[in-house]
Amino acid sequence: MIYTVTLNPSLDYRIEIDHLMLGKTNRNQNEKIYVGGKGINVSQVVSAFGKETCALGFVAGFTGDEIVRQLHELHINTDFVRVSGLSRINVKMKTDVETEMNGVGPIVSENDVACLLEKLDQLQNGDYLVLSGSVPIGGGKDIYCRMMHRVNQKGVRVVVDCEGQVLLNTLSLHPFLIKPNTDELSALVNEKIESYEDAIRGARTLQNMGARNVIVTLGASGAAFVSESGSLYIQKAVHGSVISTVGAGDSVIGGFVSHYKCGEKEAFLYGCASGSATCFVDGLCEISDVEKLLNRIEVTQWK
DSSP label at 260?
G
Whole-number Å distance between alpha carbons of 203 and 211: 9
Helix 182-189 to helix 196-208 angle, to the nearest 10 degrees?
50
Kindly report the number of other CB atoms within 10 A of residue 171's CB atom: 19
Indicate if 161 belongs to the active site.
no
Rounded to an integer, what distance in angstroms lies between the CA atom of residue 14 and that of residue 92?
5
Catalytic residue among 65, 250, 282, 289: 250
* Helix, strand, or coil (residue 58): strand
Per DSSP, what are the bridge partners of residue 94?
Answer: 16
Bridge partners, residue 225, by sequence:
215, 233
DSSP 289: H
148 contacts 159 by C-beta, under 8 angstroms: no
Strand partners, 216: 224
* Vertex 99 angle, CA 64 and 136, to 5°: 35
Residue numbers annotated as active site: 250
